[in-house]
Amino acid sequence: MLTEARQATAAPVERTATLLLDDFEAARLRGLAAQVTAEYRSVANPEFLAESTVIAHELPRRVRSFLNRARLDDIGHTVVVSGHALDALGPEPTPRHWREADTERSRAYAFLLMLHAALLGDVIGWATQQDGRLVTDVLPIRGQENSPISSSSHAPLGWHTEDAFSPSRGDHIGLLCLRNPDRTTTTVSHVVPAALGDAAREVLAQARFLIEPDPSHSRRGGTAVPRPVPVLTGPEDAPQLCVDRDYTSAVPGDAEAERALAELVAHIDANLYELPLRPGDLCFVDNRTVVHGRSRFRPRYDGTDRWLKRVNVVTDLRRTRPERLTSDTRVVGR
């Protein structure tokens, strides 16, 4: 069933489309994921990466059609393919750390996410994030409860464009929810340019802002001086954001840019809404039209905590080539 919630007038506008799989489709997807897992073993297998777009043609037609529309939609916020069967996970506990999370039984879900992502583009990883893995894991880590990264829990994760600091950032962020016992929400927000002042809009579109990498990227901090960039681009009816609430600032001394950024931040705060992901929900966040974050929660560290598999998808792999060491690698950075 295809449902879409649109509120045409009042902000915040929620542009989320959901496709609910039927049992036959879920079984077919589960079978396909098991088959590719057995054949390729690792999502980083070069043979799998070369074939994943073609294999994705075997996904149910409704899924292909749904994600193709998401690919063409320049104002949509998120899409969710709901109802994936997670029975292979069985009693496997949520790992204590992302290093332990590429487990034998959860690997089929990594492949499942990669195959859906292949309908939107190509998956990249970061040399500086989770050891360059293409499928990363979002789970709470003890000792990082109040950190500003996705392994936090007690503190809300501030809204951001994923990897806003880099021109190689993903166009879509894919999330497959494996476990979410407290219905912890993903937060989403966007911009309505007409609601901003003319002066602010003009300034925000100019290269007068600095974006630092967040601490989820090891080794990057302090090594490179960011270049000034705009934070709001695109036409008024299809604006694109590139901003991280905690890591964006105006160029030092530019008071006008500072005021415009403060106006944008207040506007995005006011437009924030919640997207609850349930186990079996596979979501793509459009990393150009919206920013996203996460509400706070209390981790238990008993194997039942929230656990998502995550990918970064670029619609034009060649755009990332300057930051990839070779044509063959999908890992950005060195």
Q: Which residues would be at the binding site for Fe ion (CB under 5 A)?
A: 162
Closest distance to Fe ion from the beta carbon of 54 (Å): 29
286 - beta bridge partners?
A: 172
Closer by beta carbon to Fe ion, 66 or else 159: 159
Q: Which two tokens stand for residue 114?
A: 């990669």
160 is in an annotated binding site: yes
Cis peptide before 12 (omega within 30 of 0): yes
Rounded least distance, CB 292 to Fe ion, Å: 6
User: Known binder of ligand: residue 97?
Assistant: no
Tell me whether residue 122 or residue 162 sits nearer to Fe ion (CB atom).
162
Least separation in angstroms between CB 169 and Fe ion: 10
Phi, psi (degrees; rounded to nearest 5) at 250:
-75, 155
Closest CA to 295 of 162, 168, 189: 189
Q: Residue 37 or residue 289: which is nearer to Fe ion going by CB?
A: 289
- How far CA 315 is from CA of 13, 46, 159, in Å, comes to 25, 19, 22
Would you say 26 or 290 has its CB closer to Fe ion?
290
Shortest Å, Cβ 214 to Fe ion: 9
Which has the closest alpha carbon to 314: 125, 58, 36? Answer: 125
- With beta carbons less than 8 A apart as the criterion, state whether 324 and 173 touch: no
CB of 162 or CB of 171, closer to Fe ion? 162
Backbone angles phi, psi at 116, to 5 degrees: -65, -40
175 beta partners: 283, 310
Do residues 275 and 78 lie in contact, with contact meaning Cβ atoms separated by under 8 Å? yes
Rounded least distance, CB 38 to Fe ion, Å = 31
329 Cβ contact list (under 8 Å, min separation 6): none
Question: In this complex, which beta carbon is closest to Fe ion, that of residue 68 or of residue 218?
Answer: 218
Q: Residue 133 or residue 208: which is nearer to Fe ion going by CB?
A: 133
CA distance 267 to 132: 34
CB atoms near residue 127 (< 10 Å): 18
- Contact predicate 294/185, CB 8 Å: yes
Query: In angstroms, what is the minimal distance from the CB of 157 to Fe ion?
Result: 7
Question: Greatest CA separation found in the chain?
Answer: 60
Rounded least distance, CB 2 to Fe ion, Å: 26
Q: Which amino acid is at 245?
A: R
- Compute the distance between CA of residue 309 and CA of residue 298 in angstroms, rounded to an integer: 20
Find out whether 162 is annotated in a ligand binding site. yes
Cβ-closest residue to Fe ion? 162
- How far is residue 61's CA from residue 54's CA, in Å, rounded to a whole number? 14
Q: Residue positions in the annotated binding site? A: 160, 162, 292
Please state the residue numbers annotated as binding site for Fe cation: 160, 162, 292
